[in-house]
Structure 1
Amino acid sequence: MRVTLDGLDGWARGWISNGHRAPLRLRRQQGGGGVMVWAGIIKDELVGPFRVQDGLKMNSQTYCQFLEDTFFKQWYRKKSASFKKTMIFMQDNAPSHASKYSSAWLAKMTWPPSSPDLNPIENLWALLKREIYSEGKQYTSLNSVWEAVVASAQKVDHQQIKKLTDSMNGRLITVIEKGGYIGH
């Protein structure tokens, strides 16, 4: 996920009461920058969030190194062998995730084909962004927007995460019933 200083991709929405002025919004050239974030959902647990180093070009090699330094060293390696055998690692189709290099590097794990519509992390990103940018909030530095990400992630409870992962069965059934098509 990418979070910016000025809100959701530069968009600002909301209601303005009759007789009140719209809040002043900062407008920076190129949006003022942002922070890249990686997180995972495992059952009812939020893994991360982990901040991607500012200015890092996320290609296949740097993505795999990032996973090694964050997800694998800080979380996965602490899990039991039986847990690791049943865990499924699912990603979206970002180029660094779907490359031959990343696929080969992750081949030691079992993970299904990617589909953003079926990935509960996409719903988590939406939940976090609603909290981060509530009431049209904007930020003045990359560190302050990162602190907002961490604070928002800490507010997500196990029940919310469990609800996201528990919805997978229903989503998969819908895909099967529709012959592989996910429509809105």
Structure 2
Amino acid sequence: MRVTLDGPDGWACGWIGNGHKAPLRLRRQQGGGGVLLWAGIIKNELVGPFRVEDGLNSQTYCQFLEETFFKQWYRKKSASFKKNMIYKQDNAPSHASKYLTVWLTSKGLKDEKLMTWPPCSPDLNPIENLWSIIKHEVYKEGKQYISLDSVCEAVVAAAHNVGREQIKKLTESKDGRLLS
């Protein structure tokens, strides 16, 4: 997910009650910049979010996954969990490369353990719905941020406030959307 200092699209609107002043909004050329974040959902557990420092290509995405997903989360899981887990990602270029496929295979994620996903299917991807919930909280009441660090901290705080039951509801509702 990409976040910016001024909101999801740098544009805000809303109603102002009679006799009330419009809130002061900073106006920045190009929205003041933004930052990428990555997270994963496994059943009812959120992995991350983690800040992505630079743009991702296949090699940097593998390094990123090694430092975040594998070292900080996956290695702590039981062998039976790893045996039953299926890794799902969309078909973004850095996710669909042969380099990444070979690297994931070296981690034990291959064939039926690796599910590819169409890149334009946000209604079926629970993480996209989770990002929407997080962004709603981060930018509540037209909130703007002064630095990229502060907006990242807000995303992490909002993500940690999303309960396991809400995450589980997102992941379990996917099956119903597929059958509709």
Q: Give the TM-score of the pair, scaled to structure 1.
A: 0.87
Q: Distance in 1 between matches of 2:149 and 2:90?
A: 26
Secondary structure at the counterpart of residue 49 of structure 1: strand
Indicate which of 159, 169, 172 corresponds to 1:166: 172
Question: What's 2:158 paired with?
Answer: 152
Question: What's 2:131 paired with?
Answer: 125
Q: Distance in 2 between matches of 1:9 and 1:94?
A: 21
* Contact 1:92/1:119, CA 8 A, preserved across alignment: no
Q: Distance in 1 between matches of 2:97 and 2:9?
A: 26
Q: CA deviation at 1:137?
A: 0.2
Q: Which deviates more from structure 2 when the two are superposed, residues 111-120 or residues 32-41?
A: 111-120
* Contact 1:90/1:119, CA 8 A, preserved across alignment: no
State the identity as a percent.
72
Q: CA deviation at 1:93?
A: 2.6
Corresponding residue pairs, total: 172
Question: What's 2:58 paired with?
Answer: 60
Question: What's 2:117 paired with?
Answer: 114
Deviation sequence 1:67-86 (CA, Å, 0-9, x none): 01100010001101110111
Q: Distance in 1 between matches of 2:40 and 2:127?
A: 7
Matched to 2:152, the amino acid is: W
Question: What's 1:23 paired with?
Answer: 23
- Give structure 1 regions of 4+ aligned residues with deviation exceeding 4 angstroms: none
Q: Distance in 1 between matches of 2:177 and 2:86?
A: 16
Q: Distance in 2 between matches of 1:25 and 1:46?
A: 32
Q: Which deviates more from structure 2 when the two are superposed, residues 101-110 or residues 79-88?
A: 101-110
Q: CA deviation at 1:90?
A: 1.1
Long gaps (5+) in structure 1? 175-184
Q: CA deviation at 1:40?
A: 0.7
Question: What's 2:70 paired with?
Answer: 72
* Contact 2:91/2:116, CA 8 A, preserved across alignment: no
**The structure with more strand, counted as a fraction of residues:** 2
Q: Give the TM-score of the pair, scaled to structure 2.
A: 0.89
Root mean square deviation of aligned Cα: 1.4
Q: Distance in 1 between matches of 2:21 and 2:94?
A: 44
